[in-house]
Chains A and B, each alone.
Chain A
Amino acid sequence: MAEAAFATNPQADAGSPLLSVKGLEAWYGESHVLHGIDFDVRFGEVVTLLGRNGAGKTTTLKAIMGVLPKRTGSVQFQGKELMHAPARFVAREGIAWCPEERGIFSSLSVEENLMLPPQVKPGGMSLDRIFELFPNLKERLSSQGTKLSGGEQQMLAIARILRTGAKMLLLDEPTEGLAPVIIQQIGHTIARLKQEGFTIILVEQNFRFASTVADRHYVVEQGKVIDMIPNDQLEANIDKLHAYLGV
């Protein structure tokens, strides 16, 4: 139903970008972190931001979400300019953010964490579907949020933004610090979400993982996007990518 609603949106049909970021700059206090980020994401795509530590990937997501005190440039979502909107309006446009530190609330139970984000658009994922994707969560509903394992916390952090009806997800390093088997499970989840019509920006350090789920990769360096590599040309560009990431 929600996908149908999106399909009737002329901008989604035309293959024009769902999200378009131009000349995005951002600051933490005095330090200038983003120096003009440009990229776009089409409807239904999974796009990664790759780059070294401190390149500005996490800051890019925060700047899109509007949780930074100072930013300039342009962020357009479905043709609407979000640059001057506070975070809560960005959320209500249907963009959901899963922060790097996961943000599970320790004074809330798993269930309260899951049910916390308000619905922003119709057609959010039902609880039954969420428990199908993340069966572990169902058994732990009454536990304290932060008593979950790292992997379960990551799943909870993703699960709670699927309920809201947001169709654009910003996932910040969902695999960080997790065991390979959990990483695999998160990879499957992201693939399933893509099938269901979610559009995803994924920040990753691990480009091996990124290559299993993404359509395109943007390389971020010193607060700028310096290259874009489609996933099917990843192998051909592997040396270049190694040089970018310094691995």
Chain B
Amino acid sequence: MFELLGIPPQALFGQLLLGLINGSFYAILSLGLAVIFGLLNIINFTHGAQYMLGAFVTWMLLNYLGVNYWWSLLIAPVAVGITGVILERLFIRRLYHLDHLYGLLLTFGLALITTGIFKQIFGVSGLPYQAPPLLSGGHNLGFMYLPNSRAWVIIASAVVCLATWFVIEKTKLGAYLRAATENPTLVGAFGVNVPLMITLTYGFGVALAGFAGVLAAPIYAINPVMGENLIIVVFAVVVIGGMGSILGSIVTGFGLGLIEGLTRVFYPEGSAVVIFVIMALVLLVKPAGLFGRTA
């Protein structure tokens, strides 16, 4: 009964699983971009490099300090987040009164510098990262084989995305963030330290990229350009979901991952471009994105 259009279920579900995994990364990364863009009005082109940084910090923690994967899940995002806080304080802060374009150029330049430094030190061939024992092996679900490492990425990503959504949409802290996104001057005039909020928000968005990097370490090759390729797709996801929309970036992230997976089953030649085709279609119909608010 699973013989859909002559495609074996193993292949179909295998590709859907791959799609969900890609979607997990799209979701976390575009969520971080959305949070940053919402409050800072900056398109954070450094995001891909910060994702790469998360993976490298994970690798370094294991190889230099013997810190295992599970601790890295906590330490690496915090470390990457701190580099974000420093960047915001040193550079990005100076651009808020200027056009968007300056923030884009700055963060793009920072991405090139970061990637360049890592290429210089580590080369581009990629470093291996041994998955922890708990993540090796897998389960046979009958219709497909589900490796633990992949199931873990999907679950961890979904939990982090939903927790972020919950904090932003349902808590007092999130209310400050939403209010400051709309009118930072007024929130400051209520006595709230908006500049500090902006710094921490950037740090948090960057930490999300770092977290995605940790998740990537055991399943993808760790190399300096791993973020460059991914981030282009993630920007398309953000455009489709709508810039600055929290729920939009999560739903479109996972959804587009699945669509990409399905395309790989039914029309493999189109899988590399399907997201960009969807982006073009969405821009034609809803220029603000599926979940975007037109200002």
Contacts and interface: CB of A to CB of B under 8 A. Distances in A.
Interface in B174-222: 175-176, 178-179, 181-183, 185-194
Interface size class of A (residues with CB under 8 A): 20 to 34
A115 B174 CA distance: 12
A106 interface: yes
A118 B192 CA distance: 7
B172 interface: yes
A65 B189 CA distance: 7
Interface of B is mostly: helix
Interface residues of B, number: 18
Given A67-B188, A99-B186, A105-B183, A88 B193 contact: yes
Contacts of B192: 88, 118
Contacts of B175: 108, 112, 115-116
Contacts of A24: none
Contacts of B176: 116
Interface in A81-136: 86-88, 90-92, 96-97, 99, 103, 105-108, 112, 115-118, 120
A66 B186 CA distance: 11
Given A106-B182, A108-B178, A67 B189 contact: yes
Interface in B136-195: 172, 175-176, 178-179, 181-183, 185-194
A163 to B, nearest CB: 11
A164 interface: yes
B182 A118 contact: no
A116 B188 contact: no
A62 B191 CA distance: 14
A194 to B, nearest CB: 22
22 contacts: A67-B185, A86-B188, A87-B185, A87-B189, A88-B188, A88-B189, A88-B190, A88-B191, A88-B194, A91-B188, A103-B183, A106-B182, A107-B178, A107-B179, A108-B175, A108-B178, A112-B175, A115-B175, A116-B175, A116-B176, A118-B192, A120-B191
Interface of A: 65-67, 86-88, 90-92, 96-97, 99, 103, 105-108, 112, 115-118, 120, 161, 164
Nearest 6 CB-CB pairings of A with B: A91-B191, A117-B190, A107-B178, A87-B189, A103-B186, A112-B175
